[in-house]
Chains A and B, each alone.
Chain A
């Protein structure tokens, strides 16, 4: 005689299968985000994020958050709109950090002998947390774009200063004034990255004395707002559920 499942055991079974499905889906999603977001940052931010002696106070705080807000905005849209999950930005930046950590450790440190401090990545997690918190509390993409986007751009430099400040100590090296970061970049030979490629405060932002960093942070904050809007829209286009809703 075959026993029939009770209502309670069937409900428990459904919950269990649903959780298994969650994690079966979560793993490939995370792997895809690690791969694509990391690749996107390599192609757009590139040397600014790879090398310690590229992280200047004018371009690095602009380029990195502006290129970094792309995936968080798009993924955040999809997860909030269809699942009411305010974790899209944080998921992306954690995935990015994992991808970077793997690359820097295995490819740059173990394989090509660079000291890990020369290739320390920057963190985008603080800005992403703020982006998610603002979305959760405001429940509005518009407010998130204005407030969250601005915070994402503005906090990038101060949040990373604790990591990179030690390398900005001055050194007299071969009769020149350099930072420890400059000396490191000079010492550890990179045949494909000659010194002249570095874009160190090159440009016309010259009239504000030594206040390049606050201006760059402000610039990043303002520009992050429309970029958040653009990438949210791209997230909207790519996160349609119309193919699964019929089931």
Chain B
């Protein structure tokens, strides 16, 4: 391979890395659209800052709604674990709060429930990382929330992870027990090495095999070998017993690994705006989702539709100017939501709205393929606002009829 070929290959790999954002992603678009749209619906995701020093805390907070129309094809969320899609533990987790309660374990989620969460993290390994909130769902996979770039600054060697035991000893989880573990591995490795050298120092394969073939294999084992074997049994058992007793005496209050489930009730939510979807059409050529729906305003104030959020992809009604400029750009469509009629819905009235959520993001986020799923019901959250800025949430679902533009 000449120098030119090598350079072309190197440049090709570099260019591939540089121009392929998917290579840095966490598989957030890998699950089928109907699962991403109708299981965990993330909203209000915020990082307390986007730069953190080693040992300094950073908080990821937000909410998620568990869709009422949970797909029949996947199991119900009886075991869920709030996690992070993160490139290795560059941050460590110090606390998880869900609806204000500490959660160290997995939990069951209730369909239709809204949950508020807060993850307290600490900078560990310097670098720039793309990090998402993520929900692990047993027998389903992961539902990934919107990702943000976080910078961790400082020196990795400065990181400490102190924990105090009930006996009052403060240990650093980064290194605790490592030297003891390696020491015991080396002890057993040394004994094994002596045993192997005892045999390997003698001729191995050809002479021993020839002697075995000749029926003289017993001469290959001396009486000293057998004595060593006998002492080996006793010595090994004694060392195992001694090491066990020593560890047991040193750590008399040891307990088994802890496990369990945490029960958390969903947030009490008022659903003053009720939405019934009449028809949903996805126009493939225009990359536009058209919804016709009946909206009943049960609140005492007029409300307007400000946003549609489906699988973290957000379409904003430009009239209300609710665009979130801190949200990942590839997931936010500033003027993507057209609402007709685009006027407030009076209290106590029911209005039929036709909305169009239009953008190439449907395709880029691999949500347009909902029309090719086995379960082609889509799911989304609608955010209505009154003139005082109060928000009203509605979760919607409907079968999507594709319009391929062939008529």
Partners in one complex: yes
Binding site for B on A (CB under 8 A): 15, 18-19, 21-22, 25-26, 53, 55-57, 81-87, 90-91, 93-94, 97, 101, 111-117, 120-121, 123, 125-126, 128-130, 132-134, 136-137, 139, 151, 155, 158-159, 161-184, 186-191, 194-198, 200-202, 212, 241, 245
Shortest CB distance B85–A (Å) = 5
Asked if A165 and B248 make an inter-chain contact with CB atoms under 8 angstroms apart, the answer reads: yes
Asked if B106 and A194 make an inter-chain contact with CB atoms under 8 angstroms apart, the answer reads: yes
Shortest CB distance A209–B (Å) = 12
Asked if A168 and B256 make an inter-chain contact with CB atoms under 8 angstroms apart, the answer reads: yes
**Residue in A closest to B211 when the chains form the complex, CB atoms:** A84
Q: Is B177 an interface residue (CB 8 A)?
A: yes
With A82-B209, A136-B226 known to touch, is A125 a contact of B247 (CB < 8 Å)? Answer: no
Q: Is B93 an interface residue (CB 8 A)?
A: yes
Asked if A166 and B177 make an inter-chain contact with CB atoms under 8 angstroms apart, the answer reads: yes
Query: When the two chains form the complex, which single residue of B91, B233, B239, B246 contacts A133, counting CB atoms closer than 8 Å?
Result: B233
| A139 cross-chain contacts in B, Cβ below 8 A | 221
A-contacting 9-mer, from B50-58, B63-71, B158-166, B310-318: B158-166
Asked if A159 and B256 make an inter-chain contact with CB atoms under 8 angstroms apart, the answer reads: no
Asked if A130 and B237 make an inter-chain contact with CB atoms under 8 angstroms apart, the answer reads: yes
Binding site for A on B (CB under 8 A): 26, 79-81, 83-86, 88-95, 102, 104-106, 124-125, 134, 136, 138, 142, 161, 163-167, 169, 171, 173-178, 180-181, 184-185, 188-189, 191-193, 195-196, 199-200, 203-209, 211-213, 217-218, 220-221, 225-226, 228-230, 232-233, 236-237, 239-241, 243-244, 246-248, 250-251, 253-259
Asked if A189 and B93 make an inter-chain contact with CB atoms under 8 angstroms apart, the answer reads: yes
Shortest CB distance B141–A (Å) = 10
Asked if B199 and A172 make an inter-chain contact with CB atoms under 8 angstroms apart, the answer reads: no
State the CA gap A174–B119 with chains docked (Å): 13
Query: When the two chains form the complex, which single residue of B104, B196, B204, B253 contacts A176, counting CB atoms closer than 8 Å?
Result: B104
| A194 cross-chain contacts in B, Cβ below 8 A | 81, 83, 106, 136, 138
Asked if A189 and B229 make an inter-chain contact with CB atoms under 8 angstroms apart, the answer reads: no
Shortest CB distance A98–B (Å) = 9
State the CA gap A120–B185 with chains docked (Å): 10
Asked if B213 and A180 make an inter-chain contact with CB atoms under 8 angstroms apart, the answer reads: no
Shortest CB distance B292–A (Å) = 39
**Residue in A closest to B79 when the chains form the complex, CB atoms:** A196
State the CA gap A139–B251 with chains docked (Å): 40
**Residue in A closest to B156 when the chains form the complex, CB atoms:** A113
**Residue in B closest to A90 when the chains form the complex, CB atoms:** B192
| A116 cross-chain contacts in B, Cβ below 8 A | 178
With A125-B191, A172-B166, A196-B81 known to touch, is A163 a contact of B257 (CB < 8 Å)? Answer: no
Asked if A84 and B221 make an inter-chain contact with CB atoms under 8 angstroms apart, the answer reads: yes
Would you list 12 pairs from A and B whose C-beta atoms are within 8 A, ordered by A residue? A21-B206, A83-B205, A94-B196, A115-B175, A115-B178, A136-B228, A137-B233, A165-B251, A166-B177, A169-B165, A170-B254, A195-B106
State the CA gap A55–B177 with chains docked (Å): 15
State the CA gap A56–B255 with chains docked (Å): 10
With A83-B212, A195-B106 known to touch, is A173 a contact of B163 (CB < 8 Å)? Answer: yes
Asked if B178 and A117 make an inter-chain contact with CB atoms under 8 angstroms apart, the answer reads: yes
State the CA gap A178–B102 with chains docked (Å): 13
| B207 cross-chain contacts in A, Cβ below 8 A | 18
Asked if B240 and A155 make an inter-chain contact with CB atoms under 8 angstroms apart, the answer reads: yes
State the CA gap A78–B169 with chains docked (Å): 50
State the CA gap A83–B208 with chains docked (Å): 5
Give the 3 A-B CB pairs with smallest separation, nearest first.
A194-B136, A136-B229, A168-B254
Asked if A187 and B106 make an inter-chain contact with CB atoms under 8 angstroms apart, the answer reads: no
State the CA gap A128–B251 with chains docked (Å): 27
Asked if B165 and A170 make an inter-chain contact with CB atoms under 8 angstroms apart, the answer reads: yes
Query: When the two chains form the complex, which single residue of A115, A189, A195 contacts B84, counting CB atoms closer than 8 Å?
Result: A189
Shortest CB distance B134–A (Å) = 6
Query: When the two chains form the complex, which single residue of A85, A162, A189 contacts B184, counting CB atoms closer than 8 Å?
Result: A162
Shortest CB distance A186–B (Å) = 6
State the CA gap A26–B202 with chains docked (Å): 13
Asked if A191 and B84 make an inter-chain contact with CB atoms under 8 angstroms apart, the answer reads: yes
With A165-B248, A166-B180, A171-B165 known to touch, is A196 a contact of B138 (CB < 8 Å)? Answer: yes
Asked if B83 and A191 make an inter-chain contact with CB atoms under 8 angstroms apart, the answer reads: yes
**Residue in A closest to B232 when the chains form the complex, CB atoms:** A133
Query: When the two chains form the complex, which single residue of A113, A121, A172, A174 contacts B89, counting CB atoms closer than 8 Å?
Result: A113
